[in-house]
Amino acid sequence: MATFGPANVAQDGTEQGEATWADSNYTTFERVGRTVTDIYNAGFRWTGVTVPQGATVSLADFDFEAQDIAAGFDILWHGVDEDDAAVFSGANRPSQVTPTTANTNTTSGITANQQNTIDVTTSVQEVINRGSFSSGNALALIGLNNAGAAGADDFIKIDSGNFTGATVAATLEITYTAGGPPAGIVIFRRRMENAA
């Protein structure tokens, strides 16, 4: 088991509507879903993902603490279909990247103020299977609103770790087999640093 710490840059964030981007240096949570006035999509990126190209992923869990939820959320979780996922930014927002074909649909089962887990195995496997993916590359997930147009409060607030600390920052835990046993378990942890 290996835990990978964050780089000292903003790599995650929330996209509000079509014009606003807020990276995790400046927010305490990533909202995913919709509100009365806006649509929200979020991106999460981990560097140094030391899983070999083409490894068999038996389980990939996206673990996070939900600060708040609004019932009715409908979110599609995809991997970012890139060999080495680029940093999210105003010019590279979650709705602008190429998503994996595989996805996980979340409409229930999220509890506020505790750790939650979403199985993203198929999305992570699709990225690891890319011919030019290499051990040590960056891997990213996106959460896309699937509840329709703005007009109701249906969302999840995911703690970025910026306000409450690294222990609740979103993690990606991958269990895999590279060319046969033994299986490896690696945990990739993200914590946002305050802007200097």
Q: Tens of pLDDT along 24-53?
A: 655 668 889 999 999 999 888 888 899 999
Q: State the pLDDT confidence band at 57, using cuts at 50, 70 and 90.
A: very high
d(CA 120, CA 162): 24
Task: Specify whether the CB–CB gap between 88 and 140 falls below 8 A.
Answer: yes
Structural domain boundaries, residue 11 = 2-189
Evaluate whether residue 159 is within a structural domain. yes
Q: What is the tens place of the pLDDT at every residue in 85-131? A: 998 888 888 999 999 999 999 999 999 988 899 999 999 999 999 99
Evaluate whether residue 195 is within a structural domain. no
Evaluate whether residue 156 is within a structural domain. yes
Evaluate whether residue 196 is within a structural domain. no
Which of the pair, 9 or 119, is modelled with greater confidence? Answer: 119
pLDDT greater than 60 at residue 3 = no
Evaluate whether residue 147 is within a structural domain. yes
Evaluate whether residue 194 is within a structural domain. no
Question: How many domains in the chain?
Answer: 1
3-state secondary structure of 22: strand
Residues 6+ apart with CB under 8 A from 128: 51, 52, 53, 54, 55, 57, 176
Evaluate whether residue 170 is within a structural domain. yes
Q: What is the tens place of the pLDDT at every residue in 127-157? A: 999 999 999 999 999 999 999 999 999 999 8
